[in-house]
Structure formats: C-alpha cells, structure tokens
C-alpha cells in the first residue's frame, strides 16, 4: 500500500514538473514576439577602444578585452555613425557602477552619474537610452565609461541602435521568461505571506509557510532586478540596484530560517543560528551602504563564499535526515516524502545557482565579461525550488494530519473506558486539573450494580453499566465531559452555571431511566447524584475543580443514603408480608 502511494506521488510530481517544463519551453519560443517598427542594429564593428593608455580596434566590440574595470580606469569607445533608415534614432547600452558620457563630434549629448560621485554614493546599474540628433550621419560617436568602484565590471555592453520603442520591446521580449517567472514568484510569495496568519489562527503553528512566501518574493525581486526589468516600472535605478543586492543577501538567511521552522533537517538549531547571523550580515551591509561607509557591492564575493559553505551544510544535513528516516523508520514520525521534496528543491536550486555563480565569475575574470551574462539557470531553479517548497508544505501538512490522527487514536485508547466509550479516570482527572471559568460538576453513582452482578452475573452487570452510559450521553448532550471514574461511579461536567438548564438535563436523565426500566424485565436503572458549580455558595474562596467535585460527591452520598434507607424499608416490608403469609397458612 505504501509503495503504491509513493509511486502515485512520484508520478504526480513528475507530471507537475513536465507541465511546468512545457510552459517554460512555450514561453521561450518566438510565439509572443511583436513585430518591430524598424530592424535593430547592433553596432559591433568599426569601434576604436582606448583603455589603460592603449588604443586598439577589435574586430567585434563584444570581443574587446578590457579586463577588470577599476576606479581610475577610463574606457573610451569611438565610432563614426552611418546613416540608418530609422527615425528618430536612439542608441542603447548598459553600465554597471560607472559614470557615462556620450559625445557627438566632441559635443556632449548625454551624461550620467556625476551627481552620485559628488555625493560619494554607489552608482547603480543603468539602462541608457540616448536620442541622437537628426544630423548624426557621418559624425563621430564617443562613449566614455568611468568605473567608480574597484572590480566594477568586465566586458563591454552590446550597443544597439534603433527606434526606442523597438529597443524597449526587444529587451522585455528577450527577458520574457524571466519576467514571467519573477512576477509569478512575487505574487505567489505575497499570497503565501498573506494567508500564513490565517493558517496560524486556524491552529497550524508551522511558520515555514511564511518563510516560503518570503523566499519566493525575494527570488522574484532578485530576478527582476538582475535582468534590469524594473526599468519597465520605475526610473529609479539606484532603488532597484540596491534591491538586487539586499534581496540576494537576505536569501540565505530566509532559507536557513525556513529549514529551522520546518524542522526537517538534522541540526535545525544550527540552521536557526546561521540564519540569524546571515540576517545580521545582510542588515549590517545595508546600513553600511546607506550611510555611505562601505558600498554593498564590495560584499558580494564574501556572500558567495558564505552561501556555498552553508549550502554544503544544508545538503549534508538534509541527506543525513533522509538517511536516518530510511535507516531507522519511525511510524509515528513519517516525514520522508516532504523532506525528500525539500531536498530535491534545494539540490535543484543550489545546483542551478552554482552553475550561474561559476559562469558569472568565469565571464567576469576570464572571459568576455559579465555584461553579457544571465541567470537563466537560477531563474528556472528558483521556480523549481518554489514548486518543491509548495509540495513540501502540502506533504508536511498531510504527514502532520496523519500523525495527529494517530496520536488521537492512541490518546483515545489511553483515555477511553473500553466498556462505556466514556472518558476514563485518567482523562477525568486531567480535565479537572485544567478546568476553569464557569462550570457545573455532577457526581453520579449507579445503584443496584452489586445486586445485578450477584443475582444475574457480571455480563448483565456490564450491560447495566453500558446502557447507563448511553442514558448519560443522551441526557447531557451539551456536557464538556462524560466520564466513568471507576466501578459504578460516573462524572458529568457541564460548561455553564445555570440552574434551569441543569434541572432540565437532570429531568431528562430521570425520564430516560424510567423509560428504560419500563422495557427491562430484571435490570433496574437507578442512580444517586449530587451536583455543585464553580460559584456555589458553600465556597468562601476561589474553589478548584477538585473542591467542586468533592462537594458534588458529598451531595451524591446524601441521596445515596436516602435511596439505601428506602431500599431497606421496602425489603423490611417485603419480609413482613412474606412472614404474614406463612403464619396464616400454618393456622389453617
């Protein structure tokens, strides 16, 4: 049965991944591309590059080797513009942590970033759209890029010439998959964060759904920022550049705190400590950046090292947790499937992240530069990771429900009287210990149990007890506790102090016993009872539930003594009648 369930779960998971893969492949095609007003022109040849007192003419601009751009470097790109059948003409390129000046025949037509330099602020990444004057043909275009941070960038951004609407459309369409996934992750995470307090209120105290939502939002925002897609929504480049860094820095902390709240790995306390340290690291770097003490871009390499180290810890801990559960199975804690989903998601995400981190560093330090890099692997890995987190949460909920049901069944066996299905003495004592507020306790003693056992046998005595328990259940329908304290002693706890309601329930109880007696030939249903409530006038101080029960029990014994005297009286009368009959017959 378990094997079939696992196979079905694996097949459903594979179907979900397949559907997502088809959706990604479909979004990656050219089916959604809109027609252009004009063809875009990538200005690849004809450039003269000046850098570090060296001037050369590369065959293609994308192959120009400028190394790592640092403070004090100046990269100058010069080219004579031809005439193009586009009106008006705009050139587009990117810059990272650098000022930009654009000149046409030595005359400035565009400048960016010097106000940041004056304020000693970090220059953001920037998409530049420079409108050329109508008399541009034949003039010399000069682009001067001045890095303002060490290791600011490497490589030269592609320079595109075209109609501005066509350029903007091409940028958004080439990043369509990233845009779709990022927006989905942000909206999905926001929804999870919104519903998490509702789930908490409903009694599910698992905070992992909250951190799942935070991780989803952070991933979505990072993908939007890295791919420069925020320029579609805002012109504030400094904002989304800082947002890119801070979301990246907060991701390790969020993942570690998720693992702590999910409690599905070995060493979850270590995960909590590391998560708090990571969070402190992110906040510290943000404060240093916002106060212009140290710009946040200088901590990226440190973050990469920390993230890779913690990734190894997380994967090894999850692997150990999975191994332990398979090696030493515990049917009371069967969390294998949810943990497997979490492990799969983390492996996919970390694998994709490592590929992009390695690719980024290779391009930046050894190849054509990070200007032309992307995070397609991380983007897809983020989506797969969130799918696995959602599956993890649902499997975790199913496992939690199964564990709760099993626990309730075991508690039922431990706290239920097997003969009557009422609460047993242990459950009654626990309830009395926790009782507070307004309540009424009825102590009940079943009459004629010993008489029934002695004259009709213990099977009939058991039937007397069982049927009496049914009468109690049908009489006190609003009771918070119906229990058998042992033998012929029973207890009823009513969650109110109301004499009218109490008398109505007791009257129903007496009527049901009379009705039952009318159908019985030899069993007699009768009971002695006494009751007291939490506001009884006998108490001169705050009474405990045990005090209330003892008072109800004392009043029950008063009725029991009355019943006992009445039984003795009836027995004495029966004996006299029997003696008179025997005496009369002797005289005859």
* 176 in Cβ contact with 32 (< 8 Å): yes
The 3-state DSSP class for residue 330 equals coil
Confidence class of residue 329 from pLDDT cuts 50, 70 and 90?
A: low
Q: Which of 61, 128, 67, 62 is nearest to 94 (CA)?
A: 128
DSSP letters spanning 54-108: EEE--SSGGG----EE-TT--EEEEEE----S-SS-EEEEEESSEEEEEEETTEE
Domain limits of the chain? 1-33, 43-162, 174-404, 425-580
Q: How confident is the model at residue 78 (pLDDT cuts 50, 70, 90)?
A: very high
Q: Is 91 exposed, middle or buried (0-12, 13-18, 19+ CB in 10 A)?
A: buried
Distance set, CA 266 to CA 189, 259, 468 (Å): 26, 10, 52
**Architecture, CATH, for domain 43-162:** Sandwich (2.60)
Would you say 128 and 141 are in contact if contact means Cβ atoms under 8 Å apart? Answer: no
- For the stretch 467-490, pLDDT in tens is 999 999 999 999 999 999 988 899
pLDDT band, very low/low/confident/very high, at 588 (cuts 50, 70, 90): very low
pLDDT classification of 337: cutoffs 50, 70, 90: low
Tens digit of each residue's pLDDT (9 = 90 or more) over 411-444: 666 778 888 889 998 889 888 988 888 899 999 9
Share of the chain above pLDDT 90, in %: 35
Q: What DSSP state is assigned to residue 566?
A: H
Question: Model confidence over 158-215: pLDDT tens digits?
Answer: 999 999 999 988 888 888 888 888 888 899 889 888 888 877 666 555 677 788 889 8
Q: Is 143 helix (H, G, I), strand (E, B) or coil?
A: strand
* Fold match flag (43-162 vs 425-580): no
pTM across the whole model: 0.65
Question: What CATH code would you report for 425-580?
Answer: 3.30.70.270
Q: Please report which confidence band the pLDDT of residue 31 belongs to, taking 50, 70 and 90 as the band edges.
A: low
Q: For 240-255, what is each residue's pLDDT tens digit?
A: 899 999 999 999 999 8
What is 174-404's CATH topology?
Rhopdopsin 7-helix transmembrane proteins (1.20.1070)
501-540: b (≥16 Cβ within 10 Å) or e: ebeebbeebeebbeebeeeeeebebebbbbbbbbebeeee
Considering 326-335, 477-486, 563-572, the range whose residues carry the highest mean pLDDT is 477-486
**Is 520 a residue whose pLDDT tops 60?**
yes
- Look at residue 476 in the predicted model and tell me its pLDDT: 93
Burial (Cβ within 10 Å: 0-12, 13-18, ≥19) of residue 136: buried
- The secondary element (H helix, E strand) that includes residue 394 is helix 376-415
> Which of 106-110, 404-408, 572-576 is predicted most confidently?
106-110
Q: Which of 431, 426, 408 is nearest to 494 (CA)?
A: 431
């Amino acid at each position: 049965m378990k094997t079939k369930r696992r196979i079905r779960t694996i097949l459903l998971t594979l179907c979900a991944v397949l559907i997502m893969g088809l959706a990604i492949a479909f979004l990656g095609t050219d089916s959604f591309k809109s027609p252009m007003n004009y063809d875009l022109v990538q200005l690849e040849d004809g450039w003269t590059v000046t850098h570090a007192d060296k001037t050369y003419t590369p065959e293609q601009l994308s192959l120009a080797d400028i190394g790592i751009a640092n403070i004090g470097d100046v990269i100058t790109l010069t080219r004579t513009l031809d005439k193009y059948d586009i009106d008006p003409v705009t050139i587009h390129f990117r810059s990272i942590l650098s000022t930009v000046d654009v000149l046409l025949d030595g005359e400035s037509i565009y400048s960016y970033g010097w106000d940041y330099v004056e304020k000693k602020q970090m220059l953001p990444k920037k998409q530049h759209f420079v409108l050329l004057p109508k008399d541009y043909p034949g003039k010399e275009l000069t682009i001067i890029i001045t890095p303002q941070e060490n290791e600011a960038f490497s490589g030269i951004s592609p320079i595109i010439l075209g109609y501005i609407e066509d350029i903007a459309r091409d940028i958004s369409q080439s990043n369509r998959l990233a845009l779709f996934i990022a927006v989905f992750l942000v909206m999905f995470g926001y929804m999870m964060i919104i519903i998490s307090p509702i789930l908490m209120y409903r009694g599910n105290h698992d905070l992992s759904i909250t951190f799942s939502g935070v991780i989803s939002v952070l991933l979505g925002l990072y993908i939007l920022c890295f791919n420069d897609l925020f320029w579609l929504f805002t012109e504030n480049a400094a904002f989304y550049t800082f947002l890119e860094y801070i979301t990246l820095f907060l991701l390790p902390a969020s993942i570690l705190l998720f693992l702590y709240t999910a409690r599905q790995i070995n060493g979850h306390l270590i995960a909590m400590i590391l998560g708090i340290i990571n969070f402190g690291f992110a906040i510290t770097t943000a404060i240093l950046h916002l106060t212009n003490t140290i710009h946040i871009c200088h901590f990226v390499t440190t973050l990469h090292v920390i993230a890779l180290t913690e990734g190894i810890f997380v994967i090894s801990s999850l692997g150990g947790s999975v191994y332990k559960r398979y090696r030493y199975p515990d049917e009371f804690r069967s969390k294998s499937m949810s943990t497997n989903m979490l492990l799969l998601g983390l492996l996919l995400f970390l694998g994709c992240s490592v590929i992009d981190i390695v690719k980024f560093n290779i391009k930046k330090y050894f190849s054509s530069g990070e200007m032309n890099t992307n995070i397609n692997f991380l983007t897809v890995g983020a989506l797969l990771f969130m799918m696995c987190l959602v599956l993890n949460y649902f499997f975790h909920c199913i496992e939690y429900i199964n564990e709760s049901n099993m626990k309730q069944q075991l508690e039922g066996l431990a706290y239920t009287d097997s003969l009557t299905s009422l609460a047993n003495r242990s459950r009654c004592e626990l309830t009395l210990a926790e009782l507070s507020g307004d309540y009424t306790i009825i102590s009940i003693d079943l009459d004629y149990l010993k008489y029934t056992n002695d004259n009709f046998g213990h099977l009939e005595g058991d039937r007397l007890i069982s049927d009496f328990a049914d009468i109690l259940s049908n009489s006190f329908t609003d009771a918070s506790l119906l229990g058998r304290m042992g033998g012929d002693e029973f207890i009823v706890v009513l969650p109110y102090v109301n004499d009218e309601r109490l008398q109505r329930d007791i009257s129903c109880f007496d009527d049901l016993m009379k009705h039952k007696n009318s159908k019985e030939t030899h069993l007699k249903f009768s009971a002695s009872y006494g009751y007291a409530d939490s506001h009884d006038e006998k108490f001169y101080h705050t009474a405990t539930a045990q005090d209330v029960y003892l008072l109800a029990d004392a009043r029950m014994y008063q009725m029991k003594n009355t019943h006992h005297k009445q039984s003795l009286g009836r027995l004495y009368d029966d004996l006299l009648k029997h003696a008179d009959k025997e005496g009369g017959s002797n005289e005859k």
